[in-house]
């Protein structure tokens, strides 16, 4: 739970770095600990106005 909303932190690794770069650009997300990472709000209805993950992360080498 964060700010009253149930959320999931998602870490993703794809087969090729080029795939990860394309996904990161499309979703506007970055890396954390070498993994593509993004946060999803759960229990929220999906609408046609949904623009992807609920947060954006900067590139990091942590």
Domain boundaries, the chain: 1-45+54-62
In this predicted structure, the answer to whether residue 40 has a pLDDT above a threshold of 80 is: yes
Q: In the prediction, which pLDDT does 49 show?
A: 63
Q: Quick check: 61 pLDDT over 50?
A: no
Q: What is the pLDDT of residues 11-27, one digit of tens each?
A: 999 999 999 999 999 98
**CA-to-CA separations, 6 to 14, 40, 50, 55, 58, in angstroms, rounded:** 26, 9, 17, 13, 22
Structure-model confidence comparison of residues 5 and 45, the more confident one: 5
DSSP sequence for 1-62: -BTTB-EEEEEE--SSHHHHHHHHHHHT-EEETTEEEEEEESS----TT--S-S--------
The strand pairing partners of 37, in sequence order, are 11, 30
Question: Is 50 exceeded by the pLDDT of residue 45?
Answer: yes
């Amino acid at each position: 739970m964060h700010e009253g909303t149930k959320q999931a932190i998602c870490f993703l690794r794809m087969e090729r770095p080029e795939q990860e770069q394309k996904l990161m650009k499309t979703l506007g997300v970055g890396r954390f600990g070498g993994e593509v990472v993004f946060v999803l709000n759960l229990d929220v209805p999906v609408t046609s106005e949904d623009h992807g993950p609920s947060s954006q992360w900067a590139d990091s080498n942590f």
